Amino acid sequence: MTAVSGMPTRPLYDSTDSLLRFAMRADATLTGLCGLAVAFFADPISSLTGLTSGQEYALGAFFVLYGLVVFGLAAVPNLRRVGIGVIAANIAYTLAAVAAAELVPMTATGVAATLATGVYTAAFAGLQYLGVRRLAA
């Protein structure tokens, strides 16, 4: 097999962006899978959290959609801006989870689960931040 001369070839990935791509794909996959579980088990989960089944289903659907979007964004060639946007979204969700734990009437289990999702998104925001920093190096 011969290469076409004159055609610049780009590597499939750059070693400096591998951490950010991994963190985004892991975040997307885990968020999407959790969203599927929440949507599928919305009724039993709602009795544990104090939210309605509809609210649980909508939250699960949001997680699935977010996961699909982030997974797709992890494939863009120039990852820096996208990575910063995903970090901002994760930080915004973390702050929203803390606020929801205070403002939304939920059971103790619901508050714990909400705060746990905030910790999850904060941890992925930190990992993705390290990936963006690695791009600058």
pTM: 0.84
Q: What angle do CA 110, 111, 113 make, to 5 degrees?
A: 65
Q: Strands, E, within the chain: which ranges?
A: none
pLDDT, one tens digit for every residue, the chain (137 residues): 555 555 555 555 556 678 999 999 999 999 999 999 999 999 999 999 999 999 999 999 999 999 999 999 999 988 999 999 999 999 999 999 999 999 999 999 999 999 999 999 999 999 999 999 988 76
